[in-house]
């Protein structure tokens, strides 16, 4: 009997003493706290699964004895750390202006270029506000500053607000923050009309598009540069005495002087081509507010328009002449930095003949430094020349002249590209070539004899898709 009583006493739970105070539970994650007026042991009426609770733990409302610390509260179990902030993506065609507080932060006012108020924001230390609207130019300034900061916003632009003022910084990726959408119609009316207008005006009058973008010094520089190169090329082309060596084949000047004059004309006209194309692209870059392009390195197809120029001999005076070959090309990027395509496509006409040309090219990009690309390329031009017009009279007993000739012109070249826009570049291409099998024909009466090693200089532009 004694042994049975001892077993029953050990198995029984201890009695609750004054030191065994109950520990209240907090609300379960996702469940509101119970009402303050609940009685001890009261069970809520709704215990369905939608409430997120399966049982109710009684709450001991008795106070702790004097001199003892109150029982600690156990926090509900759940995911640690702050809840992630989900920033909605921009809508199609929207740009983002990010305002972040540096140091003590500050207050900023955002207006359109015409001065229309778009919003006033207080940016605290470490705080970020995202303004979304139409791409274009915006003016950001502090309330006490007489002048603001003109900020071109194309895709995403980051402006820091601090005690020292405002500063445009490099964007390092999306930042969480409240999103404020500003008026799209006002921004579009103030800046987006310049996108098509500025490049068209620059194509008509060099530098005029920059002036429309309020870049007056830049526009004046393009205009003066174009006029200077054009005047130099025109003056060099007209520097010729019509009475000097009137008889064909009788050279009145030295051959070296003719070569220098032709080479100078080629350099001036090539520079004029590059400057003209660059200022049209630059006008569009100014209209969209993007002066630092990011070249499209992962393009699939590139198109190019080139003028390859060289100096060749000719009969008569002058003894040397500038030969220009305008052509187009299509290249496909089949691997990173490696492109293959059909280039130097063109059609030439001369006295009594026509020439059709084109050929393959292999190209590898050896340098990508910001907006500059440098490539090495090798290829060959296949040119077929055909007689045009009626057959020439041939004396009896003599063989008629050849009416067709095919030449292969292998070459090697450097390809230097400077990007003005993400997908548009101007190109400078020095090349060494040599015709094999027959002469190489140009426009008019220009021709390079076979086996003649030729140095060419190409200028043009490229676009990338």
Are both 133 and 279 inside the same structural domain?
no
In terms of Cβ atoms closer than 10 Å to its own Cβ (0-12, 13-18, 19+), residue 384 is: middle
Q: What is the pLDDT of residues 226-252, one digit of tens each?
A: 999 999 999 888 876 545 544 554 555
Q: Which residue has the higher pLDDT, 402 or 361?
A: 361
Query: How distant is the alpha carbon of residue 235 from its chain centre?
Result: 38
Partners of 462 in the beta sheet? 304, 425
Are both 301 and 414 inside the same structural domain?
yes
**Inter-residue contact 284 to 199 (CB < 8 Å):** yes
Evaluate whether residue 462 is within a structural domain. Answer: yes
**Inter-residue contact 209 to 283 (CB < 8 Å):** yes
Cα four-point dihedral sign 340, 407, 350, 442: positive
Evaluate whether residue 62 is within a structural domain. Answer: no
Range of the domain at 154: 95-189
Candidates 48, 59, 53; CA nearest to 29 is 53
Report the alpha-carbon distance of residue 202 to residue 287 in Å, rounded.
12
Candidates 34, 26, 24; CA nearest to 62 is 24
**Inter-residue contact 121 to 60 (CB < 8 Å):** no
Q: What is the DSSP letter of 135?
A: S
Residue 125 has what pLDDT?
87
Cα four-point dihedral sign 44, 49, 52, 56: positive
Cα four-point dihedral sign 75, 81, 82, 86: negative
CATH (domain of 436):
2.40.160.20
Q: Give DSSP secondary structure letters for 193-233.
A: THHHHHHHHHHHSTTHHHHHTT-HHHHHHHHHHHHHHHHHH
Asked which of 89-98, 311-320, 422-431 is least confident by mean pLDDT, the reply is 311-320
Are both 431 and 321 inside the same structural domain?
yes
Query: How distant is the alpha carbon of residue 372 from its chain centre?
Result: 12
Percent over 70 (pLDDT), the chain: 69
Are both 306 and 361 inside the same structural domain?
yes
Candidates 122, 125, 106; CA nearest to 164 is 106
Q: What is the pLDDT of residues 409-422, one digit of tens each?
A: 999 999 999 999 99
pLDDT at 6 over 90: no
Are both 275 and 340 inside the same structural domain?
no
Residue 151 has what pLDDT?
85
- Mean predicted confidence (pLDDT) in 435-448: 89
- The two beta strands, 301-313 and 320-335, are antiparallel
- Mean predicted confidence (pLDDT) in 106-114: 83
Residue 172 has what pLDDT?
54
Evaluate whether residue 20 is within a structural domain. Answer: no
pLDDT at 435 over 80: yes
Evaluate whether residue 53 is within a structural domain. Answer: no
Asked which of 50-64, 105-119, 190-204, 272-286 is least confident by mean pLDDT, the reply is 50-64
Are both 316 and 465 inside the same structural domain?
yes
Are both 433 and 454 inside the same structural domain?
yes
Q: Which residue has the higher pLDDT, 387 or 279?
A: 279
Report the alpha-carbon distance of residue 408 to residue 379 in Å, rounded.
10
Evaluate whether residue 133 is within a structural domain. Answer: yes
Evaluate whether residue 382 is within a structural domain. Answer: yes
Report the alpha-carbon distance of residue 257 to residue 243 in Å, rounded.
17
pLDDT at 35 over 80: no
Domain boundary among 189, 207, 230: 189
Asked which of 162-171, 230-239, 340-349, 412-421 is least confident by mean pLDDT, the reply is 162-171
Partners of 166 in the beta sheet? 161
Are both 208 and 148 inside the same structural domain?
no
Residue 1 has what pLDDT?
47
Are both 453 and 318 inside the same structural domain?
yes
Are both 315 and 374 inside the same structural domain?
yes
Residue 406 has what pLDDT?
93
pLDDT at 441 over 60: yes
pLDDT at 314 over 70: yes
- 57 pLDDT band (50/70/90 cuts)? very low
Report the alpha-carbon distance of residue 275 to residue 279 in Å, rounded.
6
Partners of 151 in the beta sheet? 138
pLDDT at 77 over 50: no
Q: Give DSSP secondary structure letters for 332-367.
A: EEEETTEEEEEEEEEEEEETTEEEEEEEEEEEEEEE
Are both 406 and 446 inside the same structural domain?
yes
Q: Please tell me the total count of domains within the chain.
A: 3
Q: What is the pLDDT of residues 400-411, one digit of tens each?
A: 666 788 999 999
Q: What is the pLDDT of residues 369-386, one digit of tens each?
A: 999 999 999 999 999 988
**Under 8 Å CB-to-CB from 100, ≥6 apart: which residues?**
123, 126, 127, 128, 129, 158, 159, 160, 161, 175, 177
Domain boundary among 291, 318, 351: 291
Evaluate whether residue 50 is within a structural domain. Answer: no
Asked which of 41-50, 77-86, 140-149, 276-285 is least confident by mean pLDDT, the reply is 41-50
Burial 361-380 (b: 16+ CB within 10 A, else e): bebebeeeeebebebebebe
Are both 287 and 298 inside the same structural domain?
no
- 300 pLDDT band (50/70/90 cuts)? very high
**Inter-residue contact 137 to 188 (CB < 8 Å):** no
- 14 pLDDT band (50/70/90 cuts)? very low
CATH (domain of 101):
2.60.40
Tokens 């209209």 correspond to 287
- Give φ, ψ of 231 to 5 degrees: -65, -40
- 93 pLDDT band (50/70/90 cuts)? confident
Residue 183 has what pLDDT?
57
Evaluate whether residue 82 is within a structural domain. Answer: no
Report the alpha-carbon distance of residue 358 to residue 22 in Å, rounded.
92
| CB atoms inside a 10 Å sphere around CB 261 | 20
């Amino acid at each position: 009997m004694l042994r049975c009583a001892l077993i029953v006493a050990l198995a029984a739970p201890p009695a609750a003493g004054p030191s065994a105070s109950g520990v209240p539970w907090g609300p379960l994650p996702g469940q509101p706290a119970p009402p303050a007026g609940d009685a001890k042991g009261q069970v809520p009426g709704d215990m369905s699964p939608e409430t997120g609770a399966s049982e109710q733990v009684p709450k001991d409302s008795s106070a702790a004895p004097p001199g003892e610390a109150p029982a600690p509260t156990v926090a509900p179990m759940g995911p640690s750390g702050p809840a992630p902030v989900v920033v909605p993506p921009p809508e199609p065609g929207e740009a983002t202006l990010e305002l972040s507080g540096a140091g003590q932060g500050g207050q900023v006012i955002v207006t359109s270029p015409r001065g229309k108020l778009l919003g006033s924001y207080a940016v605290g230390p470490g705080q970020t506000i995202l303004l979304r609207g139409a791409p274009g130019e915006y003016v950001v300034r502090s309330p006490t500053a007489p002048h603001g900061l003109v900020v071109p916003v194309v895709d995403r632009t980051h402006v820091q607000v601090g005690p020292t003022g405002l500063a445009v910084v490099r964007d390092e990726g999306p930042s969480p923050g409240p999103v404020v959408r500003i008026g799209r119609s006002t921004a579009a009316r103030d800046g987006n009309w310049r996108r098509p207008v500025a490049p068209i005006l620059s194509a008509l009058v060099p530098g005029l598009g920059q002036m429309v973008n309020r870049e007056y010094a830049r526009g004046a520089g393009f205009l003066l540069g174009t006029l200077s190169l054009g005047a130099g090329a025109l003056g060099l082309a007209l520097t010729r005495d019509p009475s000097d060596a009137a008889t064909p084949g009788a050279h009145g000047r030295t051959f070296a002087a003719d070569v220098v004059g032709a080479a100078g004309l080629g350099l001036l006209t090539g520079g004029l081509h590059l400057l003209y194309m660059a200022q049209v692209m630059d006008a569009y870059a100014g209209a969209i507010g993007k002066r630092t392009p990011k070249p499209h390195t992962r393009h699939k197809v590139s198109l190019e328009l080139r003028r390859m120029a060289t100096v060749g001999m000719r009969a008569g005076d002058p003894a040397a002449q500038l030969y220009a070959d305008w052509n187009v090309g299509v290249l496909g990027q089949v691997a990173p930095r490696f492109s293959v395509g059909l280039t130097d496509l063109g059609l030439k006409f001369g006295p009594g003949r026509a020439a059709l040309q084109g050929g393959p090219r292999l190209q590898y990009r050896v340098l990508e430094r910001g907006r500059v690309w440098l490539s090495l390329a090798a290829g060959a031009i296949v040119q077929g020349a055909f007689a045009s017009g009626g057959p020439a009279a041939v004396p009896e007993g003599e063989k008629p002249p050849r009416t067709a000739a095919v030449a292969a012109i292998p070459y090697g070249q450097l390809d230097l590209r400077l990007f003005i826009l993400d997908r548009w570049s101007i190109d400078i291409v020095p090349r060494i070539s040599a015709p094999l099998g027959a002469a190489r024909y140009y426009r008019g009466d220009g021709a390079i004899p076979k086996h003649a090693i030729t140095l060419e200089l190409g200028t043009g532009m490229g676009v990338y898709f």
